[in-house]
Structure 1
Amino acid sequence: MNDRSELLSQLPLRENLRGLSPYGAPQIDVPIQLNVNENTHPLPTSVVDAIAQEVAKAATTLNRYPDREFTELRELLADYLGHNLDRENIWAANGSNEILQQILQAFGGPGRSLLSFVPTYSMYPLLASGTDTQFIAGTRAEDFTLSAESAAAQVRTHRPNVIFLCSPNNPTGTALGLDVIQAVYEVASETKAIVVVDEAYAEFSLANTKSALTLLDGRQRLIISRTMSKAFGLAGARVGYLAAAPEVTDAIRLVRLPYHLSAVTQATAIAALKNIDLLLAQVEEIKTQRDRIVTRLTELGLKPSVSDSNFVFFGGLEDPHTIWQGLLDAGIIVRDNGIKGTLRVTAGTESETTAFLEHLATLLGAQK
């Protein structure tokens, strides 16, 4: 045990936090970073200029607290989502992780439980621990899919207070059918459980994939979580948001910190939403590179999953760590999620994607 770990163990830490490790992918400075599902395209210059202007305007009032209700931002987000939503249906926070944390602060906590279906986003159990909510690891099929029947049966068995459905799922990249969400919500109604659909990658979905936003009307305990980190290329700005019944946003207000969204954060997000067409134009290019990765990996004899996201999860590797290290040695970092025989790669720019595919082919050839 190192000195810091020893010192940490001496603190009166909550018991459910002992032995945990903080979330975090490796932060390694290499030329091509394809491991954390960022939008690797730089923001268009005109959008950078628009953000700078909005932030400069906000800077003149930084001696005052920001709009606690971030009204303009909520109105713009509602307009973007459509589906007859208005600002009363919208809440925002510092990244979708804070959105999920606030949901657990309001509806989870001691004596309550969160169910999700692993493998899925690795922050879920950590968010549960941070709010003293019991995490229940549901299961998926061998190919990592989740059927309506299986999901509903597990909800009925465990009777959780909150359910997180990641769609498209991370790390596997495939979206859930609406039948899964409907089945989970119906069973969850027996115990009045909250159902959260985490749609962080929704903008990258395939053409025939429908958003859970289409199910929101009339479902009081359904929450759709989104982020501006991925499709909008604002990972560094930390802006997440949710759509739900107005009474859900009222519940979140009970646990939010005062003035939790800074004036600078609000200004950045507002400028981005006012230039949304320029930002979403990059989404189509990213989807093109994602589909190119899927096609080439299949040609190489690997097994990529169907991807509704900006990344590709693929199996068929005899020694994924050696491949991961070989790519890193070439200046390319991808994600090793610790799932046997698999890796995950973000769809980057055309040149980044080419470099990844060429080096991967070379490494696979060297293993034969």
Structure 2
Amino acid sequence: MTAPLDRIRPDVQAMHAYAVQDARGLLKLDAMENPYGLPPALQAALGERLGALALNRYPGARGDDLKAALAAHVQLPEGQALMLGNGSDELIGLLSMACDLPGATVVAPAPGFVMYAMSAQLQGLRYVGVPLTADFELDEAAMLAAIEKEKPAILYLAYPNNPTANLWDREVVRRLVAAQGAQGGLVVMDEAYQPFASHSWLDEIRLDPAAHAHVLLMRTLSKFGLAGVRLGYLIGPAALVAQIDKVRPPYNVSVLNCECALFALEHADVFAQQAAAIRAERDALLARLADLPGVKVWPSDANMVLLRVQGGAQGAHERADAVFEGMKQRGVLVKNVSRMHPLLAQCLRLTVGSAEDNARMLEALRQSL
């Protein structure tokens, strides 16, 4: 007799769910969240505005208002269009759905954002991760070989990358974009951490639109400062975006999400000041970590820092486990990424917080080392 669980795909049963750590009672520095809330006056104004919404109605034309506001905010290039998602996660899923042709493959550098592989698997696409170099740079030869061999439907390039926090070499990226275009595939530039980066690929698209006719650019308002709102957006050539938009569920962005995002864009200067403060705190944190014995730290163009704790067997994770648990016992929650990929052995990922947060995190790290 068939059991209910037998109706669930075996590969789904074998998967690990996306894990969200329990942060109750801890300083939460594991998820790259903006540490700053809205000023009280803006909180009150937003609350009044949300309270006036017609929650008994489905989302309507306000979504078009948000798309127009985002287009103005990013100075959308001519010929490009924009679509909304319930966070970048939904957009990644929609891309997998739209490109799910027989034998379709997704290629991305590894380690990278876990949802590229998870969404591909759930939609039935083959996923190929191409290892980075030991210093977390793109392995250009290996990437070009994967593009040539796999002919991927989608090539994901996170810019900057998660969890390594670095921007790729522009010349290398240009060559990968050209190679993927030559074989007729899509490139998705994932700019989730754009508010903290020194360069945006949208500038490259503006400079040479013809070379980017197959390129989509994805951003989220989570790192802008609205992680709880769950709103992402996809930019690309209008003809491409129109096709992907067909698989988007109706009313996928709630009126609450939409209005929060519109409100934030109307006060973009507040969030820009917060991003500037986070960038300054990141640089100060990197300098302090560089002086800390027992760790190796990498440069960052995001609101996170990747470090490796020294000691322990090469390729293992016991040392990272011990430091992670030590920090947790001292009330600070970071992300232990040492098991995510062999290149990340003994690595922890730290979110950049406020000055007070970072001081507390550093002290917990010192004591745990």
Q: What are the ranges of 5 or more consecutive residues in structure 1 without an aligned counterpart?
A: 1-6
Amino acid at match of 2:348: L
Of residues 132, 149, 157, the one that matches 2:149 is 157
2:314 corresponds in structure 1 to none
1:150 positional shift: 4.0
1:225 corresponds in structure 2 to 218
- Write the deviation string for residues 309-359 of structure 1: whole angstroms up to 9, x where unpaired: 000001143211111001000110000012312111000111110001112
The residue correspondences of 1:107-256 to structure 2 (distance < 5 A) are: 107-108=99-100, 110-205=102-197, 209-216=198-205, 217-218=209-210, 219-231=212-224, 233-256=225-248
Q: RMSD value over aligned CA atoms?
A: 2.0
- Write the deviation string for residues 168-222 of structure 1: whole angstroms up to 9, x where unpaired: 11000001232233211211123211100111001101xxx32111232222210
2:68 corresponds in structure 1 to 75
- Write the deviation string for residues 62-94 of structure 1: whole angstroms up to 9, x where unpaired: 3322126811111111111125358x6111111
2:17 corresponds in structure 1 to 22
SS at match of 1:165: strand
**Percent of matched pairs sharing the same residue:** 27
- Write the deviation string for residues 245-276 of structure 1: whole angstroms up to 9, x where unpaired: 11122112210111211111111111111110
Could you tell me how far apart the structure 2 residues matched to 1:51 and 1:104 are? 35
1:3 corresponds in structure 2 to none
1:40 corresponds in structure 2 to 35
In the comparison of the two structures, how many residue pairs are matched?
351
Query: For structure 1, which segment, 345-354 or 355-364, has the greater mean C-alpha deviation from structure 2 after superposition?
Result: 355-364
Matched, 1:342 2:347: yes
1:48 positional shift: 2.1
1:53 positional shift: 3.4
2:26 corresponds in structure 1 to 31
SS at match of 2:188: strand
Query: For structure 1, which segment, 181-190 or 301-310, has the greater mean C-alpha deviation from structure 2 after superposition?
Result: 181-190
Could you tell me how far apart the structure 2 residues matched to 1:126 and 1:229 are? 20
Query: For structure 1, which segment, 121-130 or 348-357, has the greater mean C-alpha deviation from structure 2 after superposition?
Result: 121-130
1:104 positional shift: 1.3
Matched, 1:52 2:47: yes
1:110 positional shift: 4.5
Equivalent residues of 1:89, 1:243 under 8 A apart? yes
Equivalent residues of 1:226, 1:242 under 8 A apart? yes
Equivalent residues of 2:83, 2:245 under 8 A apart? no
Equivalent residues of 1:310, 1:347 under 8 A apart? yes
SS at match of 1:170: coil
Residues 220 and 54 (structure 1), Cα distance of their counterparts in 2 relative to 1, 3 Å cut:
farther
Q: What are the ranges of 5 or more consecutive residues in structure 2 without an aligned counterpart?
A: 312-318
